[in-house]
């Protein structure tokens, strides 16, 4: 019993005011039902509040990306491209894609830890557009992806990354990455609802993410790989996104790669969105 009555017992709550409560109930007018955008944004606001109250959770979008840039640039740079600075020009857009795509898995973890809590019952018993709870998570996560992108680009610029595409090219690249990550996150909302524990969500995420991010053109061009691997790498959505982001940041307009990235994004939402919502409704 005492487990539920924790710390703050010292501050005795004030008594309940039955009369003002009664007045409130009588005065309570029901406003018209909010639309889908409004409820989604409200859930996005909830995600922001969570970041505000638990800022430690930004660790994975700051320290982790910095580590990735530093490690891979200096580890592979000399061997693969002659010098780290030269390699960085090729690597940075790709490693940005890799880091952000990897961070998407935390969506699944937070959905999974949240779903067990009573507050989900309340959300699910509200007369609102059903997917807005999930969209809210993803909107909050989009902020995290943006922070991660800015941090990595800042570190990259300090290390000598000089994108030919200028500010606009870089911004367009980041925007494309955000769109893809938003779509890709629906995979994790599905697993977050499907799997029983946080650990299994992490496990499955890693199984998917490692091959998907490493078996791409992020670190090296696919030409030196065996044919069967090239077949996978060239059709890997992460390759398309990395190539598109790289192209945009280098100042070109890789329309095919952009189309492939957006196509994959649409496909991911079309498949995993409904599955997520089905699981959400059935939970």
Neighbouring residues of 224: CB distance < 8 A, sequence distance ≥ 6: none
- C-beta of 65: minimal distance to another protein in Å? 24
Q: Produce one character per residue of 234-267: b if its CB has 16 or more CB atoms within 10 Å, e if not.
A: eebbbbbbbbbbbbbbbeeebeebbebbbebbee
**CB-wise, 48 or 231, nearer to another protein?**
48
Question: Using CB under 8 A as the criterion, which residues of the chain lie in contact with another protein when the complex forms?
Answer: 1, 4-9, 11, 13-18, 20-22, 24-26, 28, 30-35, 38-39, 42-43, 45-46, 49-50, 53-54, 117-119, 121-128, 282
CB of 33 to another protein, least distance (A): 5
Name the minimum Å distance from CB 62 to another protein: 20
Q: Which is nearer to another protein, 220 or 279 (CB)?
A: 279
Q: 3-state DSSP helix/strand/coil percent for the chain, to nearest 5?
A: 80, 0, 20
Nearer to another protein, 50 or 252 (CB): 50
What distance in Å separates the CA atoms of residue 52 and residue 211, rounded to the nearest whole number? 33
Query: At its nearest, how many Å lie between another protein and the CB of residue 10?
Result: 9
Q: Toward another protein, which CB reaches closer, 45 or 253?
A: 45
Pick between residue 53 and residue 167 the one whose CB is nearest to another protein: 53
**Residue 40 to residues 57, 100, 134, 137, 191: CA-CA distances in angstroms?**
22, 22, 8, 9, 21
CB of 69 to another protein, least distance (A): 31
Length of the chain equals 283
Nearer to another protein, 68 or 277 (CB): 277
| Closest separation in Å from C-beta 131 to another protein | 14
User: Among 131, 107, 125, 94, which residue's Cα sits nearest to residue 217?
Assistant: 94
């Amino acid at each position: 019993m005492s487990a539920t009555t924790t710390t703050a017992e010292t501050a005795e709550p004030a008594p309940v005011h039955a009369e003002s409560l009664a007045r409130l109930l009588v005065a309570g007018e029901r406003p018209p039902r909010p639309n889908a955008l409004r409820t989604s944004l409200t859930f996005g606001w909830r995600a922001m509040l969570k970041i505000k109250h638990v800022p430690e959770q930004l660790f994975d979008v700051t320290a982790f990306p910095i580590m990735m840039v530093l490690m891979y640039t200096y580890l592979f740079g000399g061997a693969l491209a002659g010098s780290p600075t030269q390699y960085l020009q090729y690597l940075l857009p790709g490693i940005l894609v890799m880091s952000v795509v990897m961070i998407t898995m935390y969506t699944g973890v937070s959905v999974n830890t949240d779903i067990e809590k009573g507050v989900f019952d309340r959300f699910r018993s509200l007369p609102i557009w059903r997917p807005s709870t999930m969209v809210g998570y993803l909107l909050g996560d989009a902020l995290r992806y943006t922070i991660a992108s800015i941090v990595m680009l800042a570190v990259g610029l300090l290390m000598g990354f000089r994108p030919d595409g200028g500010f606009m090219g870089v911004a367009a690249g980041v925007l494309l990455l955000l769109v893809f990550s938003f779509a890709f996150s629906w995979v994790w909302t599905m697993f977050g609802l499907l799997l029983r524990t946080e650990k299994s969500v992490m496990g499955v995420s890693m199984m998917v993410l490692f091959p998907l991010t490493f078996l791409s053109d992020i670190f090296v061009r696919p030409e030196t790989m065996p044919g069967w691997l090239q077949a996978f790498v060239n059709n890997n959505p992460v390759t398309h996104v990395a190539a598109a982001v790289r192209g945009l940041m280098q100042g070109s307009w890789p329309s095919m790669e952009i189309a492939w990235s957006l196509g994959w994004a649409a496909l991911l939402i079309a498949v995993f969105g409904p599955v997520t919502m089905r699981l959400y409704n059935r939970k």
